[in-house]
Amino acid sequence: MELKERQKTSKLIFDGVILHLRLDTVTLPNGKEAEREWIRHMGAVAVVPLLPDGRVIVERQFRYPVQKVLWEIPAGKLDAPDEDPLSAAKRELKEETGFRAASWTPLGCIHPAPAYSSEKIHLFLAESLTQGDQDLDEDEFLEVQALPLRDLLRMIDEGEIPDLKTQTALLRTARLRPAFG
Amino acid sequence: MELKERQKTSKLIFDGVILHLRLDTVTLPNGKEAEREWIRHMGAVAVVPLLPDGRVIVERQFRYPVQKVLWEIPAGKLDAPDEDPLSAAKRELKEETGFRAASWTPLGCIHPAPAYSSEKIHLFLAESLTQGDQDLDEDEFLEVQALPLRDLLRMIDEGEIPDLKTQTALLRTARLRPAFG
């Protein structure tokens, strides 16, 4: 079956700092026309920093659109669409938590909301950690903690970790490092 | 540490069919002001339809913002913000795949992109399935297949399932039904 939609027109509705909203018309596989409202996003990275004792460095951060403080793994946007994702992951880990990692395992790329956002998150497992100083922006507010992976998996089961990238990243880590899961 | 940001002003930038983009000013915990670009979303449901032999009903669907055909579990938007999520899950499962389920297990709520979208997805495991007819909208194009959960988990490991809700939903199902994982 042909599934692809082809772009006919594209209009920039809002050109923000983070979000770039476009309204496109497309040709459907049946030849009819439809509209697509979508967000062009720079791309992002997210990191599972895993200590040798099975604890993971996690953050508590207020997320305005959902009006909640969420448990999340360290993450951040790319500085440019062509920024090397591993460099960005190293930067975000250091800035937000103070940690550097000697061992990096890519866990692939994920699309958090492919129905309306082009965002792609590059996911990494970071091990062999050494602690340093956080380097937060003065307008960035987050708390850092180290919690056992096993406890975090239980928190997922109990609905205490609604952030989707964090759920997937921790579940993937438990598959890769079953001794801690 | 105080983490919460308080709304000062809120402006509707784009009032679309799917996306409602707002630009707000907020007061940060340090008293300074910042801008927040964010999407108000109706909410959604997603369903893991699991057959007694360990196969899962999955779909292939073209997602315009990422320009890819993705493997996804059945999912859809709520018809209204106060629609009962379980009713919506039953409707979407029937429309997209033809299946009805006698057993429903809630897997909690997830936020796919809490940094810029209010979207909340209500996730369900659906079992005791009976097959009927699909009821797709004439402008909806998707292919339905039944694949073993074990194969889908391998596809996640190999980067073939970049849709984030699908990754989490399948990994959660493998924890709940380890015989199929």
User: Which residues are within 8 A (CB) of A66 and not within 5 positions of it... i.e. 6 or more apart?
Assistant: A162, B111, B114, B118, B120
Average pLDDT, stretch A46-66? 98
- Between positions 105 and 124 of A, the ones with CB within 8 A of B are 108-121
Do B82 and B136 reside in the same domain of the chain? yes
**Rounded Cα distance, B93 and A63, in Å:** 31
How many independent structural domains does chain A possess? 2
Do B25 and B106 reside in the same domain of the chain? no
Average pLDDT, stretch A43-70? 98
Do A32 and A56 reside in the same domain of the chain? no
Interface test mutation site (partner B, options A111, A122, A142, A171, max chain B beta carbons within 10 A):
A111
State pLDDT tens for residues B95-154. 999 999 999 999 999 999 999 999 999 999 999 999 999 988 888 899 999 999 999 999
Do B96 and B162 reside in the same domain of the chain? yes
Q: Is B30 on the interface with A (CB under 8 A)?
A: yes
Q: Whole-prediction pTM value?
A: 0.96
Taking Cα atoms as reference points, which of B134, B122, B63, B67 lies closest to residue B96? B134
Q: What would the two tokens of residue B115 be? A: 């940094």
Give the CA radius of gyration of chain B.
19
Structural domain that includes position B21: 6-40
State pLDDT tens for residues A159-173. 999 999 999 999 999
Q: Judging by beta carbons within 10 Å of its beta carbon (0-12, 13-18, 19+), is residue B175 exposed, middle or buried?
A: middle
Taking Cα atoms as reference points, which of A108, A107, A99 lies closest to residue A51? A99
Q: With 80 as the cut, is the pLDDT of residue B1 above it?
A: no
What pLDDT shows up at residue B103?
Answer: 98
What pLDDT shows up at residue B137?
Answer: 84
Average pLDDT, stretch B11-37? 96
What pLDDT shows up at residue A141?
Answer: 93
Q: What would the two tokens of residue A111 be? A: 């699309």
What pLDDT shows up at residue B162?
Answer: 98
Do A29 and A73 reside in the same domain of the chain? no
Do B96 and B133 reside in the same domain of the chain? yes
Do B88 and B123 reside in the same domain of the chain? yes
SS (H, E, C) B58-107: EEEEEEHHHCEEEEECCEEECCCCCCCHHHHHHHHHHHHHCEEEEEEEEE
What pLDDT shows up at residue A37?
Answer: 97
Could you tell me if residue A1 is inside a domain? Answer: no
Q: Judging by beta carbons within 10 Å of its beta carbon (0-12, 13-18, 19+), is residue A158 exposed, middle or buried?
A: exposed
Residue A22: pLDDT band (50, 70, 90) is very high
Q: With 80 as the cut, is the pLDDT of residue A1 above it?
A: no
Could you tell me if residue B1 is inside a domain? Answer: no
Question: Is residue A160 flagged as an active site residue?
Answer: no
- The mean-pLDDT minimum among A7-16, A75-84, B133-142 falls in B133-142
Q: In this predicted complex, what is the ipTM?
A: 0.96
CATH of the domain at A151: 3.90.79.10
- The mean-pLDDT minimum among A140-154, B128-142, B148-162, B167-181 falls in B128-142
Q: What is the largest CA-CA distance in chain B?
A: 58
